[in-house]
Structure 1
Amino acid sequence: MAADIADLPYRPCVGALVINRDGLVFIGHRADGPEEPEGPGTWWQMPQGGIDEGEDPATAVFRELYEETSIRSVSLIAESRDWIRYDLPPNLIGKAWKGRYRGQAQKWFALRFTGEDSEIDILHPGGGHHKPEFNAWRWARPDELTALVVPFKRAVYAQIVREFEGIIGRS
């Protein structure tokens, strides 16, 4: 099976590190039910999602952010230097994403939130997203992020925070 896993591609994905005026980062609590491959949502994460066929990553991050949070009032600050990859734990390979991927290759974007908190609507997100990704949200300190996320994504979050640390606190 290890050879089969090694042959699986990474799912192309974008992630949004949304920073408010106070230098805090948007983080949502997963709304996954028990039927989801990763189990019920018990962790927090930043908005992220797949890139559509032929879609530019910068376009995808604005679309995904809107589809998960209804946020439109953001400006692009920075893009990660590289694609950041992570592998799913072995027990999730073959379950998540219909077994087509071994993990994700993510391009991350730092975005400045310029709106008001009232713009954020995770329960009725924009773009016709049929099922909410999150059931709660909050602004978090950057040093909290890795402890809040599911363990197999912690190294990714630590890398993102390190890469964007010089801009997170700037308003």
Structure 2
Amino acid sequence: MTDTASLPYRPCAGVMLVNREGRVFVGQRLDSTLEAWQMPQGGIDPGEDPLEATWRELREETGVRREQAELVATAPDELTYDLPEDLIGKVWKGKWRGQRQRWFLFRFLGEDRDVDIATAEPEFRAWRWAEPADLPDIIVPFKRDLYRQLLDIFAGELDSLRRA
């Protein structure tokens, strides 16, 4: 049995991509049979700037290019979540207990046709725009608190984007 408390958190970057209607991009992971949806996120490579990792993950997971999005806000602190016990050892080869994430809020400047989840290394099997308030209800349970925190952190910006 692994002592999960001694395992480190995986460094990760995440993006809340908001369209003109104030809705958030979410995708269903290819490697999951759950009806759960999540925002784009992924590991930060050693020495990589978190914002650069976010731009890379956005492109790799959604096909959205830099000129099709703009940075609106950055979460001031890293957020963490722990994997459930039954997933530790199965995910990331047992190296991590969960993730520590840097989150960024982007405004999507493109059109729906600019989103292409059939990328070189696809992450999602489906995607859609979701109401921000619905995010905690559609994510896997062990990430719900993190998504609630994100909604609190970006509340002012989300309101501004919805009124724009």
TM-score by length of 2: 0.93
Judge conservation of contact 1:146–1:154 (CA < 8 Å) in 2: yes
Mapping of 1:1-171 within 5 angstroms? 1=1, 4-32=3-31, 39-72=32-65, 73-123=68-118, 125=119, 129-130=120-121, 132-169=122-159, 170=161, 171=164
CA offsets per residue over residues 24-55 of structure 1, 9 Å max, x none?
111111211xxxxxx52431000000001100
CA offsets per residue over residues 62-112 of structure 1, 9 Å max, x none?
000100000111100111011000000000111100000000000000001
Judge conservation of contact 1:122–1:134 (CA < 8 Å) in 2: yes
Q: Which amino acid aligns with 1:71?
A: V
**Counterparts of 1:114 and 1:42, CA distance in 2:** 28
Q: CA deviation at 1:168?
A: 1.3
Judge conservation of contact 1:24–1:141 (CA < 8 Å) in 2: yes
**Counterparts of 2:42 and 2:92, CA distance in 1:** 12
In structure 1, the gaps of 5 or more residues are 33-38
Percent identical:
53
Tell me which stretches of 4 or more aligned residues in structure 1 moved more than 3 Å.
none
Q: Which amino acid aligns with 1:54?
A: G
Judge conservation of contact 1:27–1:44 (CA < 8 Å) in 2: yes
Aligned residues: 159
Judge conservation of contact 1:16–1:61 (CA < 8 Å) in 2: yes
Judge conservation of contact 1:30–1:42 (CA < 8 Å) in 2: no
When the two chains are superposed, the root-mean-square deviation of aligned CA atoms in Å is: 1.2
Aligned to 2:107, the other structure's residue is in SS state strand
TM-score by length of 1: 0.89
Q: Which amino acid aligns with 1:6?
A: A
In structure 2, the gaps of 5 or more residues are none
**Counterparts of 1:29 and 1:87, CA distance in 2:** 20
Q: Which amino acid aligns with 2:137?
A: A
**Counterparts of 2:64 and 2:34, CA distance in 1:** 22
